[in-house]
Structure 1
Amino acid sequence: MHYWADLHVHSRYAMAASKEITPEQLVFWARRKGLTLIGTGDLTHPGWRDELRTKLEEAEEGLWRLKPSCELPPGSDLPMAPTVRFVLAGEVSTVYKKAGKTRKVHHLILLPHFEAAERLAGRLERYGNLHSDGRPTLGLDSRDLLAITLEVAPAAVLIPAHIWTPHYSVFGMKTGFNSLEECYGDLTAEIHAVETGLSSDPAMNRRLSILDDYALVSNSDAHSPAKLAREATRFETELSFSGLRRALRRPFPGLMGTVEFFPEEGKYHWDGHRACGVRWSPQQTMAAGERCPVCGRRVTVGVLHRVAVLADRAEEGQPPAARPAERLLSLSKIIAEAEQAGEGTKKVQRLYDRMLATHGPELSILREVPLEDLAETAGVRVAEGVRRVRLGLLKVTPGYDGVYGTVEIY
């Protein structure tokens, strides 16, 4: 079957995450977005695992569903809304010294059952506090985290998370490496897929031949339920943990493609210094010797710059692992710009609900529903906004040094 998945999300136990994140809310928003499979997030946190055990029940092999007694009313009719499943998943941060440098790398872990999650948490608690943050910080080498994960559950999947983020990723300019082998050592062959993150897209990553053998997956890294599916990955496989795992391993049967955040919107796409209001392209940064013209300190080097440093191609390569990718904006943002109103206003939310009730989940509306049908429901201006997003006819201002970029439709 074809389905959309968002495997990297967080619970309310994660730092800076919404307190509204519950299993019920995740399912509510997954159906509105058009997601069939979502990660539970934060599988190492004991309080979250307890809540998941209480509210979820077994479904297909290695997957879970919300108990009927816990489901929320849909809020509006949702034609063609998918049935939602969970896969046990969580992000782990490792901070350690290697080759004379402090390394900070984030990893997304997928597990086949709760027993594996319990065993993994038991092994990891000696390296850090699993209670204080849904995404724990561990004093553990990335290679050793992978080894422990596979010892606990040989069927587990570990995916390097948002691989270009300057401060917390395998290729990050501040604390990362120049290759996956430097990070995972003799276990590198156990890595099959990497997560591109919000500040990069597959076209940027395919400029590196060292990534030719890896699948590029996209997830929302959502810290609130409504942010689900801002990035997602499409699969065509049986709905099970085994099917998902096969699709994420070479030669990636059933991995169909991704939808992407505009990478320029990511808060580390360009270089710059937020405190001084300096926003630079990589070329400007290189010309200035990476020094802020206001305060003289080094600017934060962003994802586009870091990709350029490691790239060995001028343009995107098309290796066997390459899959199609589409850039999208959220439907509420399109409506808000069309109506010249805030995304959280009742006017925008009413129109959003009407469109979902008429045409189905958000991913379908953004990608497939004929524009003339959208115009009948939401007006010509909203339909024109969807058209411009589909064609990429937008004004984009890149994000930098922790400041999100902006995308203007009109």
Structure 2
Amino acid sequence: MLATADLHIHSPYSIAVSRFMQPEELIRGCITKGIQVLGTGDALQPDWLAGWKPLLENDAGIIIVPQAEIEDRNRVHHVILAAEPAQFDQLRDLLTGTSKSFVSSGRPHVYLGGEEIAGLAHDVGALVGPAHAFTPWTAMYAYFDSVPACYGSESIDFVELGLSADSSYGAAIPDLYDLPFLTNSDAHSPTPDKLGREFNRLRLAGRTAKDVLAAIRTRDVAMNAGFFPEEGKYNRTACTRCYTQYSLEDAIGHHWKCPADGGIIKKGVSDRAKELSKGGTAKPRPPYLHVLPLAQIIQTVEGAASPNTKKCRAIYSSFISAFGNEISILIDIPPAEIRTIHPRVADAISALRENRVTLHPGGGGKYGTFSLT
């Protein structure tokens, strides 16, 4: 069966996460969004993991996958996925003495490198891969030029692309040829513009977390979906103070210091991906569907300051009442049917499906924007 999966979120035990990120609220959010598989987030935090255990089997039929993000001694972030909560209890025991933050932090920092973390994850039967691999902070390619440089002799099981990259960014990097790409939300809020803002379509043999891990192992990813990379706040090489964008050659010529205001120029994900590809051949990948959250589309066509205004929420609710869930509206429901609820939203969704989008890339820490044609 095909299942829509978001396999990386967080809990209120992590920094800058909504207090409404609670298991029951997340399950309700999955129903509204159209997600059938959800990572728990922060499974190394024992209280958070315990809170999920009564809901591993739930009336909504959402498959819950124990999942955590961990920061290593080099500031690289890793995503870990397991079939059973007990595997995270075992992993926490193996990591004893390497961290002071398992209880205080949902995303703990450990005094180990990527090779050691991946080895311990594999020791308990879990899967591991770099989180938001292309992001210029706290990511594998921020600090290393290859998978072995980060993980040594230990293998990894997947690569999470992150919001500033799509499949095309990694398709020509030889290190990644045999690894599946995952696209997840990294959500800090259960609102529909955050939860499932990026997702995967997986081919599953059954309806358990074990089946989800098996699909990743065998690269049974039917589709990735997520933002246009240009929307990411580090997509282009740019000054982190004034956001002026530069070509890679100009940034190097300026010694990574903005001539306008002296700010640091940060290398963009687009330039970094090209650099890592080294002119290699792009290997075929599953389809990558560029999507925007329905709430963001409504906000844009209504010219609202926020997707959470009363009017935007009312329009969103009318869509869910009519069609059941958001992802179906974004990719499956015919535009003619969408028009019965809101003609301009229907036109916007048609423009997205037909790639009639003008992108204004982000960089230096400022998100990109888009307009629909």
Normalising by the residue count of structure 2, what TM-score does the alignment of the two structures yield? 0.93
| Equivalent of residue 353 in structure 2, options 384, 390, 398 | 390
| Aligned counterpart, 1:179 | 146
Deviation string 1:137-191 (CA, Å, 9 cap, x unpaired) is: 111111111112222x12x11121111111211111xxx2111111111212xx1
Deviation string 1:185-227 (CA, Å, 9 cap, x unpaired) is: 1212xx1311111010001111222211111110000011121
| Aligned counterpart, 1:279 | 245
CA contact (8 A) 2:251 2:257 kept: yes
Question: d(CA) in 2 for partners of 1:168 and 1:317?
Answer: 26
Alignment of 1:5-404 (within 5 A): 5-53=5-53, 55-56=54-55, 64-66=56-58, 83-95=61-73, 103-128=74-99, 129-151=101-123, 153-154=124-125, 156-172=126-142, 176-188=143-155, 191-226=156-191, 227-237=194-204, 238-250=206-218, 252=219, 254-313=220-279, 317-319=282-284, 322-341=285-304, 342-378=306-342, 380-404=343-367
Displacement of 1:287: 4.9
Worse-superposed segment, 268-277 or 34-43: 268-277
Question: d(CA) in 1 for partners of 2:247 and 2:347?
Answer: 30
Change (3 A) 1:242 1:114: closer
Worse-superposed segment, 122-131 or 258-267: 122-131
Higher strand share: 1
| Aligned counterpart, 1:61 | none
Question: d(CA) in 2 for partners of 1:245 and 1:111?
Answer: 7
CA contact (8 A) 1:398 1:406 kept: yes
CA contact (8 A) 1:42 1:135 kept: yes
Question: d(CA) in 2 for partners of 1:157 and 1:132?
Answer: 24
Displacement of 1:21: 0.3
Change (3 A) 1:297 1:275: closer
CA contact (8 A) 1:161 1:196 kept: yes
Displacement of 1:14: 0.7
Question: d(CA) in 2 for partners of 1:352 and 1:276?
Answer: 35
1:145 maps to amino acid:
I
Change (3 A) 1:49 1:242: closer
Which consecutive unaligned segments of at least 5 residues does structure 2 have? none
Which consecutive unaligned segments of at least 5 residues does structure 1 have? 57-63, 69-81, 96-102
2:354 maps to amino acid:
L
Displacement of 1:284: 4.2
The DSSP-based 3-state class of the residue aligned with 1:275 is coil
Worse-superposed segment, 216-225 or 238-247: 238-247
CA contact (8 A) 1:271 1:400 kept: yes
CA contact (8 A) 2:243 2:363 kept: no
The DSSP-based 3-state class of the residue aligned with 1:127 is coil
Question: d(CA) in 1 for partners of 2:15 and 2:211?
Answer: 32
Q: Count how many residue pairs are aligned between Structure 1 and Structure 2.
A: 368
Question: d(CA) in 2 for partners of 1:291 and 1:258?
Answer: 36
Question: d(CA) in 2 for partners of 1:376 and 1:200?
Answer: 34
1:183 maps to amino acid:
C
CA contact (8 A) 1:270 1:282 kept: no
Deviation string 1:347-405 (CA, Å, 9 cap, x unpaired) is: 11111111111112111101111111000122x21110111111222222222222222
CA contact (8 A) 1:209 1:313 kept: no
Question: d(CA) in 1 for partners of 2:50 and 2:208?
Answer: 22
The DSSP-based 3-state class of the residue aligned with 1:186 is coil
Question: d(CA) in 1 for partners of 2:137 and 2:253?
Answer: 23
The DSSP-based 3-state class of the residue aligned with 1:395 is strand
Change (3 A) 1:364 1:185: same
Question: d(CA) in 1 for partners of 2:250 and 2:322?
Answer: 48
Question: d(CA) in 1 for partners of 2:62 and 2:357?
Answer: 33
Question: d(CA) in 2 for partners of 1:400 and 1:65?
Answer: 42
CA contact (8 A) 1:209 1:312 kept: no
Question: d(CA) in 2 for partners of 1:120 and 1:113?
Answer: 12
Question: d(CA) in 2 for partners of 1:145 and 1:304?
Answer: 28
Deviation string 1:297-346 (CA, Å, 9 cap, x unpaired) is: 541112112112111337x7234xx2111000111111122222231111
1:344 maps to amino acid:
N
Change (3 A) 1:283 1:343: farther
Displacement of 1:126: 1.3
Q: Alignment RMSD, CA only?
A: 1.8
Task: Give the share of equivalent positions with the same residue, in percent.
Answer: 31
CA contact (8 A) 1:337 1:409 kept: no
Change (3 A) 1:15 1:136: same
CA contact (8 A) 2:240 2:264 kept: no
Question: d(CA) in 1 for partners of 2:326 and 2:338?
Answer: 12
CA contact (8 A) 2:243 2:364 kept: no
